Amino acid sequence: GQNIDQPTEMTATEGAIVQINCTYQTSGFNGLFWYQQHAGEAPTFLSYNVLDGLEEKGRFSSFLSRSKGYSYLLLKELQMKDSASYLCAVMDSNYQLIWGAGTKLIIKP
């Protein structure tokens, strides 16, 4: 079966750095997405990785290792507004998105 695993909840301090991990097992791989979702809202796109390595975009970076079936999202200089759920999604061989359950990130002052 297809499986995406990520921690249920993480807590971090404002101004700090946090890394959210995602491991996956899917039928085929055509890229991995990270989305941010605030409570009661739709997901918003953060990043897309299809090749191994680190993609940096401002305070957010995303890393992919295809051989390990592993990705992480790195958030730097955390702000209170970063409190949200972070969803990992893998595009399978049919170009469908398989979603993880999301990691709820709580930022404390």
Binding residues vs other proteins (CB under 8 A): 4, 8, 30-31, 40-45, 87, 89, 91, 94-97, 99-102, 104
> Residue 81 phi/psi, 5° resolution?
-70, -10
Quick one: 70 or 76, whose CB is closer to other proteins? Answer: 70
> Residue 101 phi/psi, 5° resolution?
-80, -10
Residue 53 CB coordination number (10 Å): 9
Quick one: 40 or 109, whose CB is closer to other proteins? Answer: 40
CA dist., res. 5 & res. 109, Å (int): 28
Point out which residues pair with 37 in neighbouring strands.
85
Whether 22 contacts 72, CB under 8 Å: yes
CB of 50 to other proteins, least distance (A): 10
Quick one: 54 or 101, whose CB is closer to other proteins? Answer: 101
CB of 49 to other proteins, least distance (A): 13
Element at 82 (helix H, strand E): none
Quick one: 16 or 106, whose CB is closer to other proteins? Answer: 106
CB of 77 to other proteins, least distance (A): 26
CB of 24 to other proteins, least distance (A): 12
